[in-house]
Amino acid sequence: MIVQPTNAAYPINLIFVAEPDDAIWTDLTGIVLSDELSIPPGDFTVMRGDGANGVILGNVTFTVDVAAAGLSFRTVGLVFAGSSTITQVPVGSWSLRGAPADDFASEDAGADVVGMSRCTTADFPVPDAVASVQRFDTGSPDVHADEVALDSRSHSVTAELACDGDFDFRVMSPSIDYTDDSGKARTTRLAPVSIGFQDVTDADLQRISRR
């Protein structure tokens, strides 16, 4: 589950591999997410990356405004020039919903996405009033925090993250339960974290191409 401030724009990255002459590089004219939401020409970008063994890594990028009611999809429809058929392709499980901006640790936490190449140690800014952290919730059943430490001087939490399952990429929206400096129990949301979208290797490319 990806949680963003209600009606804020969230960047979607759909990673794929394709042959150099595939129509997706030149003829993609639209993306259908649901009956109510389509991405028209000019609102998405097809990015070409590195290649190996006859296939090239690509990324279709666009933004969606996250409503309070949320948005979920496992496939997207690709619209190509000169074709009346919408090609349905699986893209993994995406689930987004909006939350009040005040639920987030800071304005930056509601606006930024933290990128990590793999599950490792990550630092998250937290409110100055955090006195102790009772729980770090990764927001994903496939990611857990082995160790969590609060640095009251830098007002940040360091979490040692570990990932389970066979996934190419993950996105999560962590939160913390904490006690503030007045002794009151509170909860705040941290910035969403994308894992695996950076530093895609040749081995990753070949694994994706076999799916």
Kindly report, residue by residue over 18-74, the tens digit of the pLDDT.
999 999 999 999 999 988 899 999 999 999 988 877 889 899 999 999 888 899 999
- State which H helix or E strand residue 25 sits in: none
* CA distances in angstroms from 180 to 147, 156, 187, listed in the order given: 20, 14, 10
Phi/psi zone of residue 155: left (φ > 0), alpha (ψ -120 to 50 degrees), beta?
Answer: left
- Determine the longest span between alpha carbons in the chain, in angstroms: 64
Burial class (CB in 10 A: 0-12, 13-18, 19+), 153: exposed
Q: How many CA atoms within 13 Å lie on the side-chain side of 17?
A: 20
Kindly report, residue by residue over 92-137, the tens digit of the pLDDT.
889 999 999 999 998 888 777 788 878 888 899 999 999 999 999 9
Kindly report, residue by residue over 145-185, the tens digit of the pLDDT.
999 999 999 999 999 999 887 777 888 999 999 999 999 99
Percent of the chain clearing pLDDT 90 (strictly above): 62
pLDDT of 167 reads 74
Structural domains in the chain, CATH included, are 2-98 (2.60.40), 101-195 (2.60.40)
Determine the Cα–Cα distance for residues 149 and 132; give it in Å rounded to an integer.
9
Query: Sorting pLDDT into bands at 50, 70 and 90, what band is 201?
Result: low
pLDDT of 210 reads 61
pLDDT of 190 reads 93
pTM, entire model: 0.81
pLDDT of 116 reads 83
Tokens of 147: 């160790």
